[in-house]
Amino acid sequence: MEPSHHPKGALAFMLAFLALLALLWANAYLRLWGG
Amino acid sequence: MSKGSVYKAELMWILPSIALPVIMLGLLLWAAIGRGHDLPGVEGTLDPAQLAKTPPFDKPGTFPAGPNRYQVNMVAGIWSFTPNAVRVPAGSTVEFAVTSRDIVHGIIIKGTSANVMVVPGQVTRFSARFEKPGEYPFVCHEYCGVAHHIMFGKVIAEAKK
Amino acid sequence: MKADSAGWTAEGRMAAAYLAVALAALLGGVATGLLQALEYSGINLYPKLAPVVRSYYHGLSLHGVLNVLVWTTFFISGFLPLVTGWSLGRPLAGRGLGWIAFWLMTAGLVLAAVPLVLNEATVLFTFYPPMKAHWAFYVGLTLVVAATWLVTLNLGLTVRAWRREHPGERTPLPAFMSLVTFIMWTISSLGIAAEMLFMMIPWSLGLVKNTNPLLARVLFWFTGHPIVYFWLLPAYVSWYTLVPRQAGGRLFSDPMARVSFILFLLLSIPVGFHHQYTDPGIAQAWKFMHAFLTFCVFFPSLLTFFNVVASLESGARARGGRGYFAWFLKLPWGDPSLAAQVLSMLIFVFGGIGGLINASYNVNLVVHNTAWIVGHLHLTVGTGVTLTFMGVTYWLVPVLSGRALWRPRLALAQAWLWFAGMVVFSNTLHRLGLMGMPRRTSMGAVPYMQPEWKALLPLVGIGGMILFASALLYFVIIAMTAFVSKKAAVERPAFAEALSGPADAPAFLDRLAPWVGAALVLILLAYGHTIWHLTFDAPFSSPGFRVW
């Protein structure tokens, strides 16, 4: 079966990853003030 | 699928992959320059064997330095900090100058963002604000030998009367 | 490549030699790890182990050196030349050279191991002066590094010979990646080599009285950051060139994979100050430059993420996977080698996120030298690299031993146990780090215990015990596969084909010299001023200290 040229799964995982990254990074960043 | 729409699909993740770190770097610069949460820098060198003759480390301790401001000159060594107790009124901002008389140590002050390395031959300057009254322990967080885990002190922020 | 009457090829014998040393080191590494995790939970076994292990910090030094210097270097030096030879369809250019490298590396290991084991080098794997270890520790480690340069030479000669035989063709991806990995490592190792040859060795031999601790740190971390890519890129080699086929699919893009490795060559080294954000004596501007470059070197890992996930996706969809996310469940989860590596990718995602946080200039103040870092490094080298290498051995040991993998369902359980143990262990350590708990510290013995740390520390012990159980299971499976399991003619795995193949990769990606040149320029810009200044303006005024 010829896979699609547009890996929509990889795109979905990547966008989810970037969202998770933004969230966890912001959590750490805010601790500069909370600390 | 045409080549053009394949590239457009890649942009859907490449653009945010670049935009996000750029935004982050901007926020970091703002925190450092705009809000003063900067890292230690170059503050001069000295001879670790001559601390007894090198101000300000010839007189370690806590000294008033203006309204709500204090200066702490501290020497780290195996396995203690001198001074290991710092008393200031709550709401004070404290400027620290630290060096080591022997090997590499570190300091982290719980409840603040103070977190530095202390290197023999170098001076580390940083500041911390002690808003709430209470005890703020500070510990050595760089392995410095068999009793590294007992090397600690505390900042005591005293409630205003 | 020809097999002898017992079924061994010359390449197989060399890979097996490296693997044997690597696995022995890992065994010592996980045993010492268990001791640490238990100590955190208040169970102190060190007195019972004297005089073999003399203190928590002696154990910690063994743990670090065995895991991140020996297990990794020896595994990689066996694995990458093997896949290089396979992918080029020819033996390594210098067979004698290959064995000289192995024996030099092993001799260096033994030389360093003697003082380390005898508690004469309890300085942790970072050996920051002016703590001073026995000179044999420094000389031994230097020999290990020098031996890796011989591996680089051998790979370079081999690829050059292949290119002469195949003019105009792109170097096959596994060989290309292996060579780039070792070239990057060799350049990066110049820092630690300079630290050893010009500072640590003369000083520890007593030829020079005083040393310069900050310069030593700068030279160490010059190597200390790119070494993590030396560990990681071989895992990426498996993820790019073997795992897609193990998943039943194809590599999404060969050219994109080559670009990612060129970017690692370019960007892995001029970033080491992100391990020294809190050091005095280094200007903030240089630290910010390294922060910027570190954010740049995150990009090839993002390329890897996309390319590898897209490749897995091609396999899962070929097996009936559908939707945006659900296809993930259709990967061949019953294959222990595939499962271990995909689980390691899932965990590594969090290591990558944590790494970007660590690299974030002043945000590093929140986490530096806390338990967060311990959590981080077990996600990255401890799982992204180690669990992937374990997954690789689930096909490699059968190929080398000519015996089937012993109890594949147990191997699958082993991988899931590592995953579960790591989730508990690492998550707890990250949380403890955010609460300000220090690293590299015998937590069971601190007089400054905080109630919120005490409440979480037992979870570190539990996670550590699960990881240890997984490791024990792993060693049993590998030993049985190597010596006892039923004989089977196990073919080496075929490399993945690519959807967009090597022919689509432009030739300039194959010419490495300009990229090496550009990397050297970047390194000069990022490090030149500071190293010059610290060599001539910072004091060499620290005598050695024996603090254990």
Chain C: closest CA distance from residue A30 (Å) = 9
Q: What is the pLDDT of residues C180-236, one digit of tens each?
A: 999 999 999 999 999 999 999 999 999 999 999 999 999 999 999 999 999 999 999
Is residue C139 a part of any domain in this protein? yes
CA atoms within 13 A on the CB side of C39: 25
Taking the C-alpha atoms of residue C256 and residue C472, their distance in angstroms, rounded to an integer, is 38
C427 within 8 A of C383, measured Cβ to Cβ: no
Check: CB of residue C316 under 8 Å from CB of residue C247: yes
Tokens representing C121?
Answer: 């080098």
User: How many domains are contained in chain B?
Assistant: 2
Q: Would you say residue B10 lies in a domain?
A: yes
B33 with B54, same domain: the answer is: no
DSSP 3-state assignment of B138? strand
**To the nearest whole angstrom, how far is the Cα of B24 from the nearest Cα of chain C?**
8
Together in a domain, B68 and B34? no
Q: Return the sign of the alpha-carbon dihedral for residues C96, C97, C98, C104.
A: positive
Strand, coil or helix: B81:
strand
Residue C3, in any domain of the structure: no
B87 and B26 co-located in one domain? no
φ, ψ of residue B93 in degrees (nearest 5): -105, 130
Alpha helices in C247-370 (DSSP H): 254-267, 284-318, 336-358, 364-367
Sheet holding B105-109, edge to edge: B85-89, B152-158, B134-139, B105-109, B115-118
Percent of chain C with pLDDT over 70: 99
Cβ neighbours around A6 below 10 Å, total:
16
Q: From CA C178, how far away is CA C200, in angstroms rounded?
A: 30
Q: Is the pLDDT of residue C478 over 80?
A: yes
Domain count for chain C: 1
Interface test with C, best of A25, A30, A33 (most C CBs within 10 A): A25
Q: From CA C394, how far away is CA C401, in angstroms rounded? A: 11
Helix (H, G, I), strand (E, B) or coil at C396: helix
Question: What pLDDT is recorded for position A6?
Answer: 83
Summarised one tens digit per residue, pLDDT across range B70-105 is 999 999 999 999 999 999 999 999 999 999 999 999
Inter-chain touch A28–C324, beta carbons under 8 Å: no
Residue B130 pairs with which residues in a beta bridge?
A: B92
For residue C63, being part of any structural domain is answered with: yes
**Residue B24 domain flag:** yes
Question: In terms of DSSP H, where are the helices of C383-511?
Answer: 386-401, 408-434, 451-483
The predicted structure's pLDDT at residue A2: 45
Is the sign of the CA dihedral C54, C55, C57, C61 positive or negative? positive
Using DSSP bridges, classify how beta strands B69-77 and B61-64 pair: parallel, antiparallel or unpaired.
antiparallel
Per the prediction, chain C carries an average pLDDT of 97
Two structure tokens written together for C70: 């020996």
Q: What is the pLDDT of residue B75?
A: 98
Across the interface, whether the CB atoms of A28 and C363 are under 8 A apart is answered yes
**C213 closest CB neighbour out of B78, B114, B120:** B120
Determine what percent of chain A is predicted with pLDDT higher than 70.
80
Render pLDDT for C105-114 as a digit per residue (tens, 0 to 9). Answer: 999 999 999 9
Q: Of the segments A2-16, B26-40, C139-153, C493-507, which one has the largest average pLDDT value? A: C139-153
C542 lies in some domain: no
Per-residue pLDDT at C311 exceeds 90:
yes
B73 and B32 in a single domain? The answer is no
Residues in Cβ contact with B94 at an 8 Å cutoff, skipping those fewer than 6 apart: B62, B69, B70, B71, B72, B86, B88, B127, B128, B129, B130, B155
Pick among B2, B5, B17 to test the A interface (most A CBs inside 10 A):
B17
Residue C55 in contact with partner chain B when CB distance is under 8 A: yes
Q: Is residue C5 part of a domain?
A: no
State the pLDDT at residue C1.
59
**Given C291, C443, C539, which is nearest B121 (Cβ)?**
C539
Query: Residue C209: what pLDDT?
Result: 97
State whether B69 and B147 are in the same domain. yes
| C427 in contact with A, Cβ within 8 Å | no
Cα(C439)–Cα(B115) distance, integer angstroms: 13
Chain B residue numbers with beta carbons less than 8 Å from the beta carbon of C545 are 78, 102-103, 145
Higher local confidence (pLDDT), C120 or A6: C120
| Residue B15 and residue B86 in one domain | no
Could you say which DSSP state residue C384 is in?
I
Residue B43 lies in a domain: no
> Do C366 and A35 make contact, defined as CB atoms within 8 angstroms?
yes
Contact between B141 and C441 using a beta-carbon 8 Å cutoff: yes
pLDDT digits (tens, 9 = 90+) for C233-291: 999 999 999 999 999 999 999 999 999 999 999 999 999 999 999 999 999 999 999 99
| H or E element that contains B126 | strand B124-130
Beta-ladder partners of A15: none
Give residue B78's domain range: 48-158
CB atoms within 10 A of CB A34: 10
pTM strictly above 0.95? yes
- Asked, for residue B99, whether it belongs to a domain, the answer is yes
Give C529's contacts (C-beta < 8 A, 6+ positions apart).
C286
CATH code of B113's domain: 2.60.40.420
DSSP state of C206: T
Instruction: Tell me the residues of chain C between 219 and 258 that have a Cβ less than 8 Å away from chain B.
Output: none
Question: Residue C147 and residue C108: Cα distance in Å, rounded?
Answer: 9
* Interface membership of B16 toward C (CB under 8 Å): no
Looking at the structure, tell me whether residues B16 and B84 fall in a common domain: no
Looking at residue A1, its pLDDT comes to: 38
Confidence label for C309 from pLDDT (cuts 50, 70 and 90): very high
Query: B62 and B5 share a domain?
Result: no
* Burial class of residue C106 in the structure, from the number of CB atoms within 10 Å of its CB (0-12 exposed, 13-18 middle, 19+ buried): middle
Euclidean distance between CA atoms C430 and C415, whole angstroms: 22
Q: Is B108 part of a structural domain of the chain? A: yes
Measured on CA atoms in the order C295, C300, C303, C305, is the torsion positive or negative?
negative
User: What are the pLDDT digits (tens) for C325-384?
Assistant: 999 999 999 999 999 999 999 999 999 999 999 999 999 999 999 999 999 999 999 999
Instruction: Give A-chain residues touching C434 at CB under 8 angstroms.
Output: 31
Q: Does any domain span residue C96?
A: yes
Touching partners of B (3+ C-beta pairs < 8 Å): A, C
Whether residues B34 and B55 fall in one domain: no
Q: Which residues pair with C3 in a beta bridge?
A: C9
Separation in Å, CA C355 to CA B157, C181, C291, C489, C523? 34, 20, 12, 42, 21
CA of B146: how far to CAs of B142, C28, C30, C294, C443, in Å?
12, 21, 22, 34, 13
Q: How far is CA C76 from CA C47, C82, C146, C380, C465, in A?
A: 35, 10, 15, 16, 27
**B70 shares its domain with B8:** no
A-chain CB neighbours of B25 within 8 Å are: none
- Are B137 and C128 inside 8 Å of each other by CB? no
Is B56 found in the same domain as B123? yes
Q: Which of B133, A19, B31 is nearest to C365 (CA)?
A: B31
Structure confidence at residue C493 (pLDDT)? 92
pLDDT at residue C75 is higher than 90: yes
Alpha carbons C300 and C302: distance in angstroms, whole number: 5
Q: Which long-range contacts (CB under 8 A, 24 or more apart) does C165-173 make?
A: C165/C90, C169/C502, C170/C502, C170/C503, C170/C505, C170/C507, C170/C509, C170/C510, C171/C88, C171/C510, C172/C87, C172/C88, C172/C495, C172/C502, C173/C87, C173/C240, C173/C241, C173/C251, C173/C254, C173/C257, C173/C258, C173/C495, C173/C498, C173/C502
At residue B6 the predicted structure's pLDDT band, cuts being 50, 70 and 90, is low
Alpha-carbon distance of B17 to C151, in angstroms, equals 35
Give the tens place of pLDDT for each residue, B51-70: 999 999 999 999 999 999 99
DSSP reduced 3-state for C184: helix
Question: Which chains have 3+ CB pairs within 8 A of C?
Answer: A, B
Do C366 and B113 lie within an 8 Å CB cutoff? yes
CATH classification of the domain holding C260: 1.20.210.10
Q: Are C222 and C469 in contact (CB under 8 A)?
A: no
pLDDT in tens, C27-36: 999 999 999 9
Judged against a pLDDT cut of 50, whether residue C144 lies above it is answered with: yes
Range of the domain at C396: 10-441+448-537
B71 and B4, same structural domain? no
